[in-house]
Structure 1
Amino acid sequence: MTRIAVLGAGHVGPVIARVAVAAGYDVSIAASGDPAKIALITQFLAPGAQPRWAADAVADADLVVLSIPLHRFPTFDPAVVDGKLVVDTMNYWPPVDGVREMFEDPRYGSSEIVAHRLAGSTIVKTLNHIGYHELEDDRRPAGDPRRRALGVAGEDPGAVAAVADVVERIGYDAVRLEGLRAGRLLQPGGPVFGVPLRRAEFEHAVRADAA
């Protein structure tokens, strides 16, 4: 897997694009419109990434990172990512986003709801529980005792493995969680949200919460 499309050019998207470029990936970044409008942002915040129209970026990508503002998700066209492996980095956080009716169903975590709407895609949740300002600074090489762990949750084991490999390559230990339902542990209010944990600490936290 070498080609990554990042959808979203706000706070999160450019940082993900930047660390992916640094890890050797071929990265495109897209916003909701003309790529010329994000060319300067890309040049300064994600040098090496290519600004493109969303449809073009996705068409060529092996993996699509969905980092759009949550309030725009209800109008996001599922056809754009149909058939693609999609990494959901979004969070539903009512104190920040306000109440969003689509995400209020208590039976489901936010990524389960994303998966219901993007039914033609394979959804994996990760990179949502680390601050975008930490994502670059907290990277460490494999074996470093300070290396931070990040959870990777999804229904498809092959997709989870592929995304876990990306997480490892950008500088984190990937802890694979079984099913998107387990992605609730990664959400705001979950035991690992915003907490810098090493692998053993991370695994203990998610086991303790699930018990």
Structure 2
Amino acid sequence: MDVADRPTIGIFGAGKVGTALARLLVGAGYDVVMAGSPRQTALSLLVSVVAPGARVGTPDELVAHADVIIVAVPFGKAASVPWEDFDGRIVVDAMNYWPPVDGHIAEVDADERSTSEMMAARNPKARVVKSLNHVGYHEMEDDSMDAGSPLRRAMAVAGDDPEARAALARIIDDLGFDPVDGGPLVNGRALEPGHPAFGRELGAAELSALVTPSADLAA
């Protein structure tokens, strides 16, 4: 993707995942806006040190300027994100439900939907995709490779909006990973902790078979 055509990326969450993604995105030529906890008064200083080139904005500023929004806050804080403002936006759910960290949330444990489907229900007008969650933040920069490398690691994107999936796939390619079209949002469950694709170093064909096994059976 030409640098001039690259969308502005907004990241909710300035923790380890958010800042790792910010560094990769800035390195790939993207304009990145970050918003963190309102209690984190030193956020601008933190971002200038750990993600130089990214800029800090309020949640309202992020929503106003970002073309693609990445939600990378702890799962238990998902409700603090202004989902109601995401109408028509491509929203990347990069969160993971971790009971050892989040505690067991009874309504989540009892829900048969994937966690991303739960997030999408917060605003049905948002174009929610699941991605950027199944590769560890500590591996993102180390595993990023140029296009065409035979050892390039794959990263999947699942979502009900094909155009949103394609838009994120282009970003994933720019970040140094082979994008895999994971199909509808329900398939995002395969990218969650405890499922086969989570945390594994896989090529595109291997990852595709885990995320969309029904497609392989139909072929």
TM range (shorter): over 0.9
1:115 aligned partner: 120
Deviations 1:11-58 (A, max 9, x none): 111111110001110111111327852112111111100011111012
1:198 aligned partner: 203
- What is the identity percentage for the equivalent residue pairs of Structure 1 and Structure 2? 42
> Contact 2:92–2:130 (CA<8 Å) still a contact in 1?
yes
Output the TM-score relative to the length of structure 1: 0.93
Q: 1:77 to 1:208 in 2, by over 3 A?
A: closer
* SS in structure 1 of the partner of residue 142 of structure 2: coil
* SS in structure 2 of the partner of residue 184 of structure 1: helix
* In 1, Cα distance between equivalents of 2:36 and 2:137: 17
> Contact 1:34–1:53 (CA<8 Å) still a contact in 2?
no
* In 2, Cα distance between equivalents of 1:206 and 1:80: 30
- Give the letter aligned to residue 83 of structure 2: P
Deviations 1:85-123 (A, max 9, x none): 100000112233211234223320000000001223110
* In 2, Cα distance between equivalents of 1:76 and 1:3: 18
Instruction: Name the stretch that deviates more: 78-87 or 173-182.
Output: 78-87
2:87 aligned partner: 82
2:24 aligned partner: 19
- 2:33 pairs with 1:28: yes
2:66 aligned partner: 61
1:139 aligned partner: 144
Deviations 1:174-194 (A, max 9, x none): 111111100001001111100
* In 1, Cα distance between equivalents of 2:79 and 2:40: 22
1:159 aligned partner: 164
* In 2, Cα distance between equivalents of 1:80 and 1:68: 17
* In 2, Cα distance between equivalents of 1:120 and 1:204: 30
Query: What residue ranges of structure 1 are gaps of 5+ in the alignment?
Result: none
- Give the letter aligned to residue 142 of structure 1: A
Instruction: Name the stretch that deviates more: 146-155 or 34-43.
Output: 34-43
- 2:44 pairs with 1:39: yes
The structure 1 residue matched to 2:96, chosen from 91, 96, 106, is: 91
Q: 1:122 to 1:45 in 2, by over 3 A?
A: same
> Contact 2:75–2:98 (CA<8 Å) still a contact in 1?
no
Q: 1:53 to 1:175 in 2, by over 3 A?
A: same
Aligned length: 211
Query: What residue ranges of structure 2 are gaps of 5+ in the alignment?
Result: 1-5
> Once the 2 structures are TM-superposed, how far is the Cα of residue 198 of structure 1 from its aligned partner?
1.0
Q: 1:119 to 1:138 in 2, by over 3 A?
A: same
**RMSD, aligned α-carbons:** 1.8
1:126 aligned partner: 131
* In 1, Cα distance between equivalents of 2:69 and 2:18: 11
* In 2, Cα distance between equivalents of 1:183 and 1:64: 17
Output the TM-score relative to the length of structure 2: 0.90
- Give the letter aligned to residue 72 of structure 1: K
